[in-house]
Each structure stands twice: as C-alpha cells, then as structure tokens.
A and B are shown apart, each in its own frame.
Chain A
Amino acid sequence: MSTPEARAEEHRQLRWMRAVSLLEGSTLLALVLVAVPLKHLAGVPMATRIMGPIHGLAFLLYVWMLARTVCAGGWPRSEMIRLVAAAFIPFGAFINERRLARRQAVLAACD
C-alpha cells in the first residue's frame, strides 16, 4: 500500500483489528477462567450458556476481520497463520494485539 488513501485505510483497519483481538481474547478468558469454573465447580451451567455464544460471535468477527485485514494489507501467509493460531490459545489474542500495534507503529513511521 503506498498512496496516502491506502495508508489511512490500513490504519483504520489495524485499529479495528486490534479492538476485535482484545474482544476475542477477553471473551475467551471470561469463558475459560470464569464461566467454565462456575459451571463445573459452582453448578451454574447458565454461565457457559451465556458466555459460549458471546465468545462464538467474537471469534467469528475475529476470523472475518483477520482475513480482511491480512488480504487488504497484502501480508505474508506466515503472518496470517501465526495470527489465527494465536486466536485458539488464551492470551494469544493479546499477543496478536501487540503484534498489530507494532505493525501500526511501523506504518505510522512510514507516513
């Protein structure tokens, strides 16, 4: 991406992607660290019935945004695989968010 219009678009896209990464990571943590223990240790199955679908929606949004961001930015395939793999582990989305922030900083430095 080289035109100022294209760079502005990528900035916007990265900002959204970082927000969705945090959302995906937070809902996964809430599911694994709060809802699942509540279900199995405190006998409150409602916790996973609420958090499960919320995390499912966040994950779909994450996958969609990731494919869009990577494709629009012309990123290498290895980067995409790393970002998708990190979505499946707790805290991985937070690592992704840092990675995206670094990319955004590099982009800003080129302006």
Chain B
Amino acid sequence: MIYPWLKALHAAAALTWTGGLLAAAMAIQACAGAKVPADTADRRRALDTVRRWDRHVTSPAMLLAWVLGIAIAIQGEWFGSLWLAIKLGFVVFLSAMHGLATGTLKRLALGSLPSPSSALRHIPAATVASIAVIAVLAVVKPF
C-alpha cells in the first residue's frame, strides 16, 4: 500500500534534485563564458539566488531521494538485483557531480574563483546521460 507512495515521492524528489543540479551546472557554465568581470554585483546576486535555491530545495530533495530510494529497495526487496547495483553507482556519481557544482558555486560567489575550470562544462551532459541511464534501469529493470 505504501510502496506506490514511496515511489511517487522518490520520483518527485529525484526530479527536483536533478533539475536543481542542472540549473546549478548551467549557472557555472554561464560564469565560464561570461565577458563581465568576476566581482560585479549582478553576477554575485545571480549566484546567491542559485545557491539559495540549492540550499533550500535541491540539497534537501537529494537527501529525500536517497532515503526514499533505500526505503523502496527495502520494501520491494530489490537489494541484490544487478540493475539496482548499477543504478546506485550512477547515484554516487550524480551526488559527486552535485558536490562539485555546489562547491564551485560557493567559490564563484565568494569571489575566490574568477572563472570555473573548463572540465566542469561537462556536468550538464553527464547529468542528463546519468538520468537517462537511471530511468531505463529503474523502469525496464533489464538485469
């Protein structure tokens, strides 16, 4: 009875988390490509808005997605399935991506990083690819 509710809330939390992660990643990309100086008030305000959203919405959604995901796996007795083990690997990867994005946003907002590393421009693509793989694994359960 509770299982579909857990699943629905998990999907909502995961969508909120990954949507926020994409927004943060795009904000970092915008800073990397911007021609304006790093310490302008406009840039600081924009970064503060993204960081506030992350602190109050994206990060709590991530924690909720983790907890509900584990609750679903216990309820459905999915631990031990190969598809779940692979999915968990992607969850660890997405969590690390989120950590990298929020850490970079913090440095940008504090003015200690004038321009983000070019390697971070791959975060949006890596996030979308991971979401696609996770969706296939969770819905199709191929293994």
Contact = CB atoms under 8 A, between A and B. Distances in A.
A69 B104 CA distance: 9
B67 A3 contact: no
A6 B112 CA distance: 8
B112 A68 contact: no
A6 B100 contact: no
3 pairs of A and B residues whose beta carbons are closest in the complex: A67-B99, A71-B103, A72-B103
26 contacts: A1-B107, A2-B112, A5-B110, A9-B106, A9-B110, A56-B70, A59-B92, A60-B95, A63-B95, A63-B96, A63-B99, A64-B62, A64-B95, A64-B96, A64-B99, A67-B99, A67-B100, A67-B103, A68-B98, A68-B102, A69-B103, A70-B103, A71-B100, A71-B106, A72-B104, A72-B107
Contacts of A63: 92, 95-96, 99
B98 A49 contact: no
Contact of A68 (B67, B100, B110, B113): B100
Given A1-B112, A2-B112, A57 B100 contact: no
Contacts of B106: 9, 68, 71-72
B79 interface: yes
A73 B102 CA distance: 12
Contacts of A56: 70, 88
Contact of B99 (A1, A52, A68): A68
Contacts of B83: none
Interface string A41-66: 00000000100110011011001111
Interface residues of A, number: 25
A65 B110 contact: no
A79 to B, nearest CB: 13
Nearest to A53: B70
Contact of A53 (B74, B98, B112): B74
A6 B110 contact: yes
A2 B67 CA distance: 37
A74 interface: yes
Given A68-B98, A71-B103, A72-B106, 20 more contacts: A1-B112, A6-B112, A52-B79, A53-B73, A56-B70, A57-B67, A57-B70, A60-B92, A63-B95, A63-B96, A63-B99, A64-B62, A66-B96, A66-B99, A68-B99, A68-B100, A68-B106, A69-B103, A70-B103, A71-B99
